[in-house]
Structure 1
Amino acid sequence: MSWLMMSWLKALVAKFTATPEWREIATAPLHRELELAVIGDEISVLGFSCLRCADGWLDAETLRPVAVTATHWRYRQPAVLPFCCC
């Protein structure tokens, strides 16, 4: 592989594996799978992904309403990185 291709691939992998920063809950986008957390003296991450909708939060897997008072959010990290063999 060429040096340029290796640099591009390294940057792509870093983008998916780097832990993104937590953002204020008021800026959470609608209808996107997100990780939620309550951040005070320590970070407490919710154990499942959620979707923000106009009426509140939904469990991303079951689409059932969730009563949560999170303070921060970040985009959900994929369990498996995208991969292409070609």
Structure 2
Amino acid sequence: MTKQPNVPTTAALRLTGTKSEIELVLAVLRGKDFFWKTNGKFYPQRGDSNQYAYYLNDLQLPQLGVAAPPTPTPGEPQPRPWDAVLGGQGE
């Protein structure tokens, strides 16, 4: 499936670890402009009283590079793919 412009990507995610580890990951995601829905509950995991699961629903990834490229003007020289590496040097 091709990503459509200006349509957020959504996913579901299950985080596991200690409460402080999960809270650290949530802080990093918030700092990177991720958005999600959750009920805010930490679910204890079997076998280890210090391990929890935390569920993120409808996780929306940040929109990067959604601006459309400029339309080329007819008759003007167009940049070549290697110009970015070579600094726009002529042939």
Same-fold status (TM-score > 0.5) = no
Greater radius of gyration (CA): 2
Q: TM-score, normalised by structure 2?
A: 0.29
Q: TM-score, normalised by structure 1?
A: 0.30
